């Protein structure tokens, strides 16, 4: 009897996993996030200037895309993202700001967590902030 019970439970679990149905999902209605670019290079940037860039993405799936969290690897990089769901086929933007009061070369990552089937996604920014005195002389 125990083996029959285990067989039934296993069958139900496997069947529900194959159909893609479950909490927060509808069969065939999954979101998918596609970025135009995932790397932005600032090149050389002046000290204290605007260190913002945009990452454009599209929901290429069939369900609504919800960005659950967008998280940077340090406090010098601050992301802003849409809090409303992005409908299938729609495009939106994540803005990433780097603190340009820190001189030198940088490489920072931002991770995008969503309900998309291809989540999480990694965005990367790179560049070199020139020292303040270089900006005064130029």
Average pLDDT over residues 66-83: 96
User: Of 108, 24, 29, whose CA–CA distance to 70 is shortest?
Assistant: 108
- The first and second tokens of residue 97, run together, are 């700001």
Reply yes or no on whether the pLDDT at 78 is more than 70.
yes
**Which pLDDT does position 7 carry in this prediction?**
44
For residue 18, which phi and psi values (nearest 5 degrees)?
-75, -30
pTM for the model stands at 0.76
User: pLDDT tens-digit profile of 16-62?
Assistant: 343 344 444 444 579 999 999 999 999 999 999 999 999 999 999 99
* Mean pLDDT, all residues of the chain: 84
- The first and second tokens of residue 83, run together, are 């809090």
**Which pLDDT does position 11 carry in this prediction?**
43
CA dist 22 → 9, 12, 14, 99, 138 (Å): 16, 12, 12, 42, 60
How far apart are alpha carbons 103 and 128 in whole angstroms?
Answer: 7
Q: Where are the domains of the chain?
A: 32-137
CATH class, 32-137 region: mainly beta
**Which pLDDT does position 51 carry in this prediction?**
95
% of residues, the chain, pLDDT over 90? 72
């Amino acid at each position: 009897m125990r083996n029959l019970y285990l067989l039934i439970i296993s069958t139900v679990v496997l069947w529900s996993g194959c159909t893609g149905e479950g909490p927060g999902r509808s069969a065939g209605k999954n979101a998918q996030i596609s970025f135009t670019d995932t790397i932005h290079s600032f090149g050389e940037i002046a000290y204290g200037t605007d260190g913002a860039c945009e990452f454009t993405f599209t929901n290429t799936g069939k369900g609504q895309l919800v960005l659950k969290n967008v998280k940077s690897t340090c406090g010098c990089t601050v992301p802003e993202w849409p809090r409303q769901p992005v409908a299938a086929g729609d495009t939106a933007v994540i803005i990433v700001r780097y603190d340009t009061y820190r001189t030198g070369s940088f490489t920072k990552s931002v991770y995008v967590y969503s309900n998309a089937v291809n989540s999480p996604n990694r965005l990367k920014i790179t560049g070199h902030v020139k020292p303040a005195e270089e900006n005064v002389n130029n």
